[in-house]
Every structure is written in structure tokens, then in C-alpha cells.
Chain A
Amino acid sequence: MKRELPFVLVFIFGMFMLLQYFVPHEKSEWVYEFFLAWTIIIGIFALALGIWSLFKVSVDKIKMHRPGWGYSYVTLAGLFVMIAFGFTKRNGDAWGLYHLWWILGLLCLGAIMQVRAETNTGRKKMYFVVSLVLLAATVAISIFDNTWSFHFYTSEGLENTLFRNFFDYIMIPILSTMFALLAFFIASAAYRAFRARNLMATLLLFAALLVMSRFNPWIPGAEYVAKASTWLMNVPNLAAQRAIVMGIGLGVIATALKVILGIERGYMGKG
């Protein structure tokens, strides 16, 4: 049962979704829409698993003093601060002791990590005491400071200016810069193709150069280059894309069918 039931479930749900396509009736649509909504909801529960994994890997790294363990503090700090911001919000115009609260909270977290990582008993005790003091201070601020409050029951934490600022001034710059790195990487990739001396790479490079120079008015015969690159995009490109797409289609449907029928089982663990 442990081993077979999941495959039976895969078969039942897979066959349902497959046959549902041929049944336009409202009732079949209703179940179909339901199933799609379910997968999203289950996914959110899985996110908790993910966060737990990230937390555990980071903590283990600190505990074992693996290379670069210090940076795991940064990850944990980012994680906890952002979660804290997502569930707290300022009540009035002033922040009160809010900043002190989250900074002390972070220090407390750091001290707890040190207690776990430390091998020297004396220092372990010291970190323990420090973490207790910091914890007490953090709790005290959250109880007595009324300038901000927890929002476990409304999504107002998401409107917290610090939550927004972390998104705007940390996530966005890094994200767009990572994306922008592609400009350099595409150049180095082109150089790599240029160095590879075989027919395949030459064909690839030739086509790439032709398409790249389609907007360049200074090259001789610019008009013909533009036309040729358009033809390349519309004709051979279309043919190859179609061949690839059909191949992928076949691969996907064969794999999906094997999954539904329980022939392909590599994705499901044993034991």
C-alpha cells in the first residue's frame, strides 16, 4: 500500500484530467477547475517545507562551521526580518522602539545560533545568558511599545513601509542587476561560440551575427542583411522550431502517459 497507492492515485487523477478534456459538461469543468485550485493551495503548504529546509541548511552550516558559515547569518537575518516585517505594522507616524525591537530580535537569534554552534562550555553559557537577556528585551518591547503592533490576522503587515522598502531597495536592485549580468554573459557566450572551431558552432555564430546586424545601418548591404535575417527568422527558424516543438510534444505526451500508467516511476521515491 505504501508503495502502490501513490501510483493508483496518479492513475486515477491522471485519467480523470485526460478524459475531462473530452467532456465539456459543467460538472466535469467544475471538478477540473477545482483540481487546478487545489494544486496551488498544496503548493503553499509545501513552501513551509521549503522555508524549513532553508532554515535548517543555514543553521547546520553555522553549527558545523562549514566554509562561508558567517554568510548564513545574513540569510537568516534577511529571512527573519522580512517575515517579521510582513506581520507587523506601525500604528501612528512614529516608529517608537520598533527598530530597536527587530535589531534586538536579530541579535537574539544570532546569540541562540552561537549557543548551538559553540563547543566551549563557558562561552556557551555566556551566549545563553546573552540570548535570554535579548529575548526578554525583545518581548518587553513588543508588549509595552504601542507605536506598532503585530498583524497576524490581517495582511496589513504587507503594507509595512519597511517590508516595501526591503522589496524596493534590496530585492529589486539585486534582481535587476542579476538580470543585467546577462548582457556580459551573452558576450562571453558569443566569444565561446566564436572560439569553437566546428561546423555546428560556425553555423550558429553565422546566424547569430546575421540576426544581430539586422539593425546596423553601417554594414555594407544593410538592406539585404535585414531581409536575410527576417527570412532566417521566418523560414528556417520556423521549420526547426516546429520540428523541436513536435519532438517535445511527443516526449511530453509519452512521458505523461508513462507516468499515468505507472510505467515511469523514477520520480516517486521508494521505502
Chain B
Amino acid sequence: MKRTTVLVMVGAIVIFGISWVLKSMSLTSTTDHYIAKGFAITFAAFLTLCIFSFLYKDNPFYKFAEHLFVGVSAAFWMSMGFWSTIVGNLIPRVSETLSNYFKVPYHPESYNPFYFLPVFLGILLLLRLSRKVGWVSRWPLAFIVGTTAGFNFIRYLRSDFIEQVSATFVPLLVDWQGIGHFFSNLSLSSTGQFVAMLSNWVIFFGVLCGIIYFFFSKEHKGVFGGASKIGIWILMITFGASFGYTVMGRISLLVGRITFLFKDWLSLIS
């Protein structure tokens, strides 16, 4: 190990220790387990800083936090999944003996022997660990892929296709009372006739050009190419707008973490 690395490590441990002591002391009046609590808050702050250190470059602290996070979160979701889905949802439906073993209330009224089938399919899935009969694991996969493909087919057909087509039927002439009336009332007011009509025209042609951009089997040349180009411009403007829209939300997340460091850990702000 390099000397600087050792120094940084030692420094980090010393700072951690000092922080632990100080934090514990500050917590004596609020909790009985102030030493443990002090450690927990210091450790949380340490991990926060470990992750922030990634902004500088990859380093042992980040690696430590990353590997710890991976292990802990995998176990966390496994435990939660086991207790909520297998024990909470499945067992009370299939077996009274197992319900008694896991001490979950057995629902005699919702007993359903068909629930043995997903268990069977789940076990087939586990068989992929075997080289000989691993191919059987494709059956449950086929079940999942098949059902969800059928489900998504209809869902997207309705929500992303039919409903969107009908939503594009916008009136291009809003409140039309002749060309003279239109020009005499021309204004840039957001509630005015001109802006309302312009918006509908932009929506209509925007959708059209956007769709043209997604044509794959026709060369984008001539008028078609022009429309496709306008299409991609509108897409870019949209992406920009949505990018700008997200910025504020992201900054508020950072503010949240900084508040944790300065308030909960260092108690510098109240």
C-alpha cells in the first residue's frame, strides 16, 4: 500500500473516531443508547461521504460503500420477498401445515390448489443450476414472457396507439368567425385565438413530423426528409425541455443529503 493511502486511511479512522465520540456525547441527553446511535449516525455520514467521494474518482472508500450496499440490499430484498410473497401470500393459500409452521393465518376460504403451479414453475426455474435438466427452466420463462407479452400487447395498443390517435384530432380552426375577425383580433395573448390555433397547428404537425421521423422503410429524402428533420428538431426541443424540468428536482435531492450531513451529523444547522 502506498504511504498516502495509509495516511488517508488512518486519517479517516481518526476522524471517524472523533466524530463518534462527539456525536455520542451530544446524544447523551436524548437517548439511552447514545454510543450505538452515535456510531450509526457517524457511519451513515461516513457512507454518504464515501459515495460523494466518487465525484473525485473511484477510490477504496467508494468501493467499500458500493460493495457493502450491494450485499446488504440483496439480502434485504431477499428477506422481504421471502416473508411478504412466499410466506405472506402464497403459503396461506396452499397449505395449512405450512401456515401453522410459519405462524401465518391460514385462509381456508382462499385455499387454492392452483397456487401450487407457480411453486412448481418456480422450482423448474431453479433447475437451471443443473446442466442436465437446465432446459426445463425455459418453461416458466415461457409462461412469464407469454402472459406479459399478451398483456402488454393490448395495454400498449390501447394507451399508446388508439387513445393517442384520437387525442391528435384537434380542431385546427379555433373559434373561427371569418378571416376578417381573425386578423382584427390578432394578439399574442396566451388565451387568444391566434395562440390557441397556433398551438393546435404545432401539435398536429409536430405529431406528424415526429411520426415521419420514425419511418424506417422509406428513405428520408425530399419533402419526407424535410418533415423527418423537423420531427427530430421537435424531439430535441422536447428532450431539452424535459431535461430543464428535471434539474430542480435533482437539486432538491442534493439539498436533502447536505441537510443530513450538516444537521443530523454535524449539528451545524438547526
Contact = CB atoms under 8 A, between A and B. Distances in A.
Interface of A: 2, 5-7, 9-18, 20-21, 34-52, 54, 68, 71-72, 74-83, 86-87, 153-155, 157-158, 163, 165-184, 186, 189-190, 193, 199-201, 203-212, 215, 227, 229, 231-250, 252-253, 256-257, 259-260, 267-269, 271
Interface string B190-221: 10000100010011111101110110000000
B72 A211 contact: no
A18 B164 CA distance: 20
Contacts of A47: 77-78, 81
B135 to A, nearest CB: 5
Nearest to B80: A158
A87 B79 CA distance: 8
Nearest to A41: B118
B266 interface: no
Contacts of A247: 210-211, 214
Interface residues of B, number: 120
Nearest to B49: A177
B134 to A, nearest CB: 9
B157 to A, nearest CB: 5
B234 interface: yes
Contacts of A180: 253-254, 256-257
Interface of B: 40-41, 43-45, 47-48, 50-52, 54-55, 63-83, 85-90, 101-103, 114-115, 117-119, 121-123, 125-126, 128-129, 135, 138-154, 156-157, 159-161, 164-165, 167-168, 190, 195, 199, 202-207, 209-211, 213-214, 231-248, 250-251, 253-254, 256-257, 260
B157 A253 contact: yes
A246 B143 contact: no
19 contacts: A40-B85, A71-B63, A71-B64, A79-B75, A80-B71, A82-B76, A86-B78, A173-B51, A174-B50, A182-B254, A193-B243, A203-B240, A208-B247, A210-B244, A231-B199, A236-B234, A240-B237, A256-B150, A256-B153
B160 A245 contact: yes
B160 A248 contact: yes
Q: Is the interface of A mostly helix, strand, loop or mixed?
A: helix
B111 to A, nearest CB: 14
Nearest to B144: A39
A50 B74 contact: yes
A60 to B, nearest CB: 15
B149 A260 contact: yes
B71 A186 contact: no
Given A41-B118, A45-B126, A180-B257, A174 B90 contact: no
A203 B156 contact: no
A74 B63 CA distance: 9
Contacts of A241: 238
Nearest to B209: A243
A116 to B, nearest CB: 18
Contact of B161 (A80, A235, A239, A246): A246
Contacts of A154: 102-103
Nearest to A187: B247
B121 to A, nearest CB: 5
Nearest to B168: A242
Contacts of A252: 152-153, 156, 160
Contacts of B89: 37, 40-41
Contacts of B48: 173-174, 177
B71 A74 contact: yes
B5 to A, nearest CB: 13
Contacts of A267: 145
Contact of B207 (A83, A210, A242): A242
B202 A236 contact: yes
B152 A239 contact: no
Contact of B83 (A158, A204, A245, A248): A158
Contact of A38 (B41, B81, B118, B246): B118
Contacts of A76: 71
A227 B241 contact: no
Given A244-B235, A249-B161, A171 B143 contact: no
**Most central of B72, B80, B154 by chain A CB within 10 Å:** B72
